[in-house]
Amino acid sequence: MTPHTLTVDLGARSYPIVIGAGVMDSGFDLSPHLEGGGCLVVSNVTVAPLYLEKLRKCLPGDEFACHLLPDGEIHKSMATAESILDKLIDVRAGRDTTVVALGGGVVGDIAGFAAACYMRGIAYIQVPTTLLAQVDSSVGGKTGINHPGGKNLIGAFHQPRLVLVDTHTLLTLPDRELRAGLAEVIKYGAIVDRDFFAWLEINMPALVKRDADALIYAIRRSCEIKAEVVAEDERESGKRALLNFGHTFGHAIENSMGYGEWLHGEAVAAGMVMAAQMSGIDCSELSRLKALINAAGLPVRPPPAGSAKLRQAMQMDKKVQAKKLRLVLLHRLGDAFVSTDYSGDALLETLGMADA
C-alpha cells in the first residue's frame, strides 16, 4: 500500500507527515531528512526491542548511536532530558547531528526538547509508535517535560524534519494505550469537524478492533486537521489553542493523580466531558460526546481527586493569561471556541465532578 503524505506548511520549516502500514519494514529511506552528520536514536526500553532493528533499515550505514530511556510519563523530567544531552555530548554530536525519536509521546517530547536545547537547536525526526503520538504529539513542534508544578511547563517549539507514522506499530500497543490515543482522535471531530465526529460514531468499533483501513483514515484525518491548524497558528496565539479542548481539565487530573496514574488520553477524555458540560451545549450533543468516549472505552468522569486540588493544578496551566484561565468550550460538536468570559460558578460546578 502506498503511504499517504501530508505537509505541515511552515514555509522554510515545512515538513512531511508520511503515514503507512509497514513503512519501516519496507526500508523507508530517512537519508533525505537527516542533517548529514550522523544521528542519535532516542527510544525507551519497551519500544526499542520491538522496532529499533526495523528503524535501522531506514538509516544509512551503521553510523548511529542509541540512547534508551525508562518507560512511563513519570520519567518525562529534566533528569531524563539531561541524560539525552549527556549522550549527545558523549558521542561528540555536532550541529549537523539529527536526533531520531522512536516511541510514544513521552519519548518524542523529551527527545525533541533535548534537540531544541543542544547547541541551541539541532534537527530531529519523529517516528511515533503509539496512536496518541501519531495523531497528536508528534505533529506541530511542541516539545517539553513535566514539572511537579504542572504538565509540560518546561519546553520549546521546535519543528521536526519529518514525522514517519508506521501503523504496524499499533499491533503491539496495549489496549489501554490504544484507547488513550482515541481520545485525541475524538477531540479533532469535537472541535472542528462534525462530519468526522459522525464517522467516528459509526466506526469506533472498528477502531477499537484495530481495523487497518479505519485506523489509517482516522490517523490521516487527525493529522490533516492538526497540520492545517499548526500552519495557521504555529505558536498558539490564536486558533491552535482549540487543540487544547479537554486538556486544561485533563492536565489538572494528571497532575493531581500523579503523572502516569491516569494516561494522558484518559484524562483528556474526562476533561472533554467536563469542558462540554461547562459549555452548556444541548443535552443531545453532550450525550453523543459521552457515548462516543464510552464506546472508545474511556472515562467520562474525572477521578475523585477533589475540586480544590484540580483548581490548584489549573492555576499553573500554561493557558493562564493575566491571571485568567483560558478554556476551550463548545458552541456545538464540531464548533469550538476559546473563552475567558465564563462563569466562575460554572467552573466550580464542573470541578465538583471530582468531589464525587
Catalytic residue among 244, 254, 285, 326: 244
Q: Is 244 a catalytic residue?
A: yes
Q: Is 63 a catalytic residue?
A: no
Catalytic residue among 75, 251, 319, 326: 251
Using CA atoms, how far apart are residues 349 and 337, in angstroms rounded to an integer?
Answer: 20
Using CA atoms, how far apart are residues 288 and 198, in angstroms rounded to an integer?
Answer: 9
Let me know: does 291 contact 234? Beta carbons within 8 Å: no
Let me know: does 272 contact 183? Beta carbons within 8 Å: yes
Catalytic residue among 54, 179, 220, 264: 264
Catalytic residue among 142, 151, 179, 187: 142
Catalytic residue among 75, 158, 187, 247: 247
Q: What DSSP character marks residue 162?
A: -
* Contacts of residue 339, Cβ cutoff 8 Å, sequence gap at least 6: 326, 327, 328, 329
Catalytic residue among 184, 234, 254, 266: 184
Alpha-helix residue ranges (DSSP H) falling in the chain: 48-56, 78-90, 105-117, 131-132, 175-192, 194-208, 212-232, 247-257, 264-279, 283-295, 307-314, 344-351
Let me know: does 165 contact 134? Beta carbons within 8 Å: yes
Q: Is 224 a catalytic residue?
A: no
SS3 of 102-123: EECHHHHHHHHHHHHHHHHCCE
Q: Is 120 a catalytic residue?
A: yes
Task: Supply φ then ψ for residue 123, to 5 degrees.
Answer: -70, 150
Using CA atoms, how far apart are residues 148 and 314, in angstroms rounded to an integer?
Answer: 13
Q: Is 142 a catalytic residue?
A: yes
Catalytic residue among 33, 54, 226, 326: 226
> In Å, what is the CA distance from 231 to each residue of 174, 234, 245, 261?
32, 6, 19, 34
H or E element that contains 332? strand 327-332
Catalytic residue among 177, 236, 254, 266: 236
- Neighbouring C-beta atoms of residue 4, cutoff 10 Å: 16
The SS3 assignment for 331 reads: strand
Tell me how far the alpha carbon of residue 179 is from its chain's centroid: 13
Catalytic residue among 240, 288, 319, 326: 240
Q: Is 184 a catalytic residue?
A: yes
Q: Is 226 a catalytic residue?
A: yes
Catalytic residues: 120, 142, 184, 226, 236, 240, 244, 247, 251, 264
